[in-house]
């Protein structure tokens, strides 16, 4: 398994060569997660692991008090889920190629 994981990590590191435009990332995430039923099931699994379907507040099982360390961990996971959803559902604005200026005299 270690060799397989090492090979995957090498493959992933070569798959990303530089920054992708935000619009490309938006289209790719939509294609992967919304393009098929399998993609939607995988997205559901990821979001459930990120605590998107319940409160990230962790409680001590014995006392019922908030457990801050575990809550912070869950909030971090929750944030990853939010980033995935934002990438899928918020289309990036296209930056204008040329700035328009007012004609002189206006």
**pLDDT at residue 37, rounded to an integer:** 97
Q: Which residues pair with 59 in a beta bridge?
A: 66
Q: What is the pTM of this model?
A: 0.71
Q: What is the DSSP letter of 35?
A: S
CB atoms within 10 A of CB 21: 11
What pLDDT does residue 71 have? 86
- pLDDT tens, position by position, 13-71: 777 766 778 898 899 999 999 999 999 999 999 999 998 888 877 787 777 787 888 88
Name the phi and psi angles at 68, rounded to 5. Answer: -65, -45
Q: Residue 40 contacts by C-beta under 8 Å, 6 or more apart in sequence?
A: 33, 34
Domain ranges of the chain: 20-87
Give the number of C-alpha atoms closer than 13 A to the C-alpha of residue 57, restricted to the C-beta side: 5
The model's pLDDT over 68-99, given as tens digits with 9 standing for 90+, comes to: 888 888 899 999 999 999 999 999 887 767 77
């Amino acid at each position: 398994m270690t060799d397989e994981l090492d090979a995957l990590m090498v493959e992933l590191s070569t798959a990303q060569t530089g920054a992708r435009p935000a619009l490309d990332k938006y289209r790719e995430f939509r294609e992967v997660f919304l393009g098929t039923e399998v993609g939607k099931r995988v997205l559901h699994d990821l979001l459930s692991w990120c605590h998107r379907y319940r409160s990230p507040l962790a409680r001590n099982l014995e006392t019922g008090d908030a457990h801050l360390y575990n809550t912070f961990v869950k909030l971090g996971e929750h944030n990853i889920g939010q980033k995935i959803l934002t990438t899928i559902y918020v289309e990036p604005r296209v930056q204008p190629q040329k700035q328009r200026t007012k004609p002189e005299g206006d």
